Structures are given as C-alpha cells and as structure tokens.
Chains A and B, each alone.
Chain A
Amino acid sequence: MAEEVVITDEMRGLIGIESTPWIHEVTTTSVRAFARGVGYRDPVYYDIEAAQAAGYRSLPCPPTYLGTPVFIPGQSSETFSGPKDDGPTLEHGLPNLLDGGTETEYLADICAGDTLTASSSIVDLSIREGKSTGKMLIVTRETRCLNQNGELVARQSGQAIFY
C-alpha cells in the first residue's frame, strides 16, 4: 500500500496520447468461446443458422465482447492478451490492480468475420481514498474500435484502480 500517490505533471502529460492500434478479431470460434465463458444458452451466439434467422450476418458479438486481441508472442501481454506496449506507461509504483467499471457505446452491429482495429488513450487521472486499500489511483482509459471498413463501431471506457 503506497502512502504517497500523487498525480505528477509527467503523468498528466500522458493523457490523450494514442496507443499503437491493435487488431481484435471477431470470429465464429471467438464468439462461441466468449459466449461459452459467460454461460449463454441462446443458440444465436453459437449456431450460424439461428443467428441468420434472428437477422444477423453471422454470429453476433455478445454484449461487452469487442473481439479477441491478436496474440503475438513477445509483442502481446501474457496476462491481458492485448499489446504489451499499450501506449505510454504511468510510473506510479502501485502493485495492485482492480477494475472500477466499464461502459461500452455501440454505434453498429459487430459480427463474426469483422476485424476491429482498437486504439486507446488515457482520458482522466484521479485519486480516491479506499476503505481498505488506502489512496488509490484511478486511470480512465477510452478504447475506440474501427471495423474493416474504417467505421467507428464501438467506444469503450474503463477505470483501472491501482493501490
């Protein structure tokens, strides 16, 4: 537990810097794996005929799923599967990470067969006092996903809590 977490000018200077764009694939296999991981029983997320009968081009992306980042050994994070070099690094020295919240705005349907290009940036930094964790650094990051036609199809923002 760090006693003295402060937001420095250097940290603030990282707000708005775009990460390297990274490909997220949405495939029939990846949609099924996600749906299975959540526990869906709805055949629309597993069976292409059922998906087409419900009006989709192919298996639709289950809510909150925005494709699986392409994994390349050495370039991808072993833990989170995204790019290891996900934009500039915040030097805060806090060892523990919790998720604070997530919001996703969908601008269009996303289905198996789509290839999304995701890039993100830090949009806000704040400090909060946790009940059992002491001072926490809250990092809000926004990710934007473009499909293979260059259309913005989703925006996701999330709060990472470091303590």
Chain B
Amino acid sequence: MARTWDSFSEGDALPQLTKTPGVSDLVKYSAGGGDFNPLHHDYAFPQAKAIGSIIVHGRFKYACLGELVSNWLDHGGRIENIACQYRGMDLPDQTMTCGGVVKRKWEEDGKKRAELELFVENSSGKNTTPGTARVVFK
C-alpha cells in the first residue's frame, strides 16, 4: 500500500532488503544499465586480478538503495534526491543488507517531506555504501 504521511515517524527503520548478487546478477545489471566495465564480470581483467576478484558495481548498490526507498514509499510520493558514496568494495556471492532510517520528517510551504539515511552493510557488518534520500509525499 502506498506510504502515507501519517504512517511513519522520525527514527523508524525501513524494511531491509538483502541481496546476494552472483556473477549472473551482475551481468543482468550490466545489460540493464549499459555499464560493461569488465571489472564487474571478467576475472581476467587486469584490475580485477590486482584486486583479487571482480567487484559489485557501485551503481548496482546505488540502484539497490533506490529499490529500498521505492519499496518503502510504494509510490506514495516521489524521490527528489538520492545519493551515496562507495566507501568499500563488495564482492559477488556475498550478502549485502540494504537498510535505512527516517532522519527527519517536516512540512514546509505546503510540502510534506522526509529525509532518510541509508546504508549497504556487508557480511562483516561494515557499511560500504552510506547514502541519503529526500522524498516528497503526494
């Protein structure tokens, strides 16, 4: 059901989204987004060899944070801004947990908005991809 303004409070956690992308999933993302950098599918690529593995696209993690926010909002509003930083590499076949919390909820000039703090946590509990989003409600 579409998220309504009255249905949440500051401090609420967003329902988490877990992903364990394998090589096939990374290839699907490459095809969907148009990014065919071999670092994300070719273990023989020199940079992948130097790192010791192919790595998950930063943009795939960014898109997963988008999916997390989209699932929470469920079309009850629109994302005005979404941002993240790629602080750590994620490897294929490792579980990533995407989550977030409502940091701020406010009304200004007749617009109802919320600011969310987002994260992608790897299997060791490290936040590899801190992010934020701002949403405006219908």
Enumerate chain A interface residues (CB-CB to B < 8 A): 33-40, 42, 44, 54-56, 62-65, 68-69, 71, 78-82, 95-106, 109
Contact = CB atoms under 8 A, between A and B. Distances in A.
Contacts of B33: 34, 37, 65, 68
B63 A78 contact: no
Chain B: interface residue count, which band?
Answer: 35 or more
B31 A37 contact: yes
Contact of B67 (A39, A56, A100): A39
Contacts, number: 116
A112 B74 CA distance: 18
A162 B25 CA distance: 26
Nearest to A40: B67
A163 B31 CA distance: 26
A102 B31 contact: no
Given A98-B86, A101-B85, A104-B83, A38 B66 contact: yes
Contacts of B25: 39
B127 interface: no
Given A63-B82, A106-B81, A81 B35 contact: yes
Given A102-B62, A102-B83, A42 B36 contact: no
B90 to A, nearest CB: 12
Given A33-B31, A37-B30, A80 B36 contact: yes
Nearest to B32: A37
Nearest to B17: A39
B67 A38 contact: yes
Contacts of A64: 59, 62-63, 65-66, 82
A64 B33 CA distance: 10
Contacts of A39: 19, 21, 25, 64, 67
B64 A38 contact: yes
Nearest to B83: A103
Given A33-B31, A80-B35, A106-B78, A99 B59 contact: yes
Contact of A99 (B58, B65, B74, B78): B58
Given A62-B70, A80-B37, A55 B32 contact: no
Interface in B80-120: 80-86
A54 B75 contact: yes
A99 B2 CA distance: 33
B37 A79 contact: yes
B79 A99 contact: no
Given A68-B34, A98-B86, A106 B67 contact: no
A62 B66 contact: yes
B2 to A, nearest CB: 7
A105 B81 contact: yes
A10 to B, nearest CB: 26
Contact of A106 (B47, B59, B63, B80): B80
